[in-house]
């Protein structure tokens, strides 16, 4: 079995979608190993988003991620890294496929791509690195 880091981002928590998102994750059959409500510091987010430092959306992304609490989840299951990203849908919620978390629940609210409800690690290396940051 495999583990991944899932985040319900501040838009998901503020919109009251944490339960809906958890229900989709549980219905898929993944296991919650650990879960916590976090108000992430800039330092934590700079570590988490190190790969994006210097990109035009980096500062707005950090500001957005500090705009309210985030739910961090240690999630386990067979091929959960790839599987959760499939459940989440593509990055831009406006065009993410129906049936996915981003496609069904998200859209462009004016801050575009960054308000896309969830994060999921993109590789085993990312998952190990990110889980160590958040847990």
**What is the footprint of Mg ion within residues 104-123 (CB under 5 A)?**
122
**Annotated catalytic residue within 71, 119, 121, 134:** 119
Question: Is the distance from CB of 115 to CB of 93 less than 8 angstroms?
Answer: yes
In whole angstroms, how close is the CB of 115 to ligand GTP at the nearest point? 7
Nearer to Mg ion, 2 or 122 (CB): 122
Active site residue 119: yes
Among 105, 127, 84, 99, residue whose Cα is nearest residue 11: 105
CA dist 32 → 22, 29, 57, 125 (Å): 9, 10, 31, 20
In whole angstroms, how close is the CB of 122 to Mg ion at the nearest point? 5
Alpha-helical (H) ranges within 1-123 are: 10-14, 18-28, 42-48, 58-65, 80-88, 101-105
> Does 91 belong to an annotated binding site?
yes
91 binds, among ligand GTP, Mg ion, none (CB under 5 to 8 A by kind): ligand GTP
Spatial distance between the Cα atoms of 88 and 84, rounded to a whole number of angstroms: 6
Nearer to ligand GTP, 18 or 116 (CB): 116
> Does 116 belong to an annotated binding site?
yes
- Residues of the binding site: 9, 57, 85, 91, 102, 116
What residues are labeled active site? Answer: 119
């Amino acid at each position: 079995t495999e583990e991944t880091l899932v985040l319900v981002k501040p838009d998901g928590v503020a919109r009251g979608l944490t339960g809906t998102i958890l229900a989709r994750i549980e219905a898929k059959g993944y296991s919650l190993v650990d879960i916590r409500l976090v108000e992430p510091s800039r330092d934590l987010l700079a570590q988490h988003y190190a790969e994006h430092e210097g990109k035009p959306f980096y500062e707005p992304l950090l500001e957005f991620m500090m705009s309210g609490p985030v739910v961090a989840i240690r999630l386990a299951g067979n091929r959960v890294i790839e599987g959760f990203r499939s459940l989440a849908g593509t990055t831009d919620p406006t065009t993410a496929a129906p049936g996915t978390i981003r496609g069904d629940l998200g859209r462009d609210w004016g801050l575009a791509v960054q308000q896309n409800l969830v994060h999921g690690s993109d590789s085993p290396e990312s998952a190990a690195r990110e889980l160590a940051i958040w847990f």
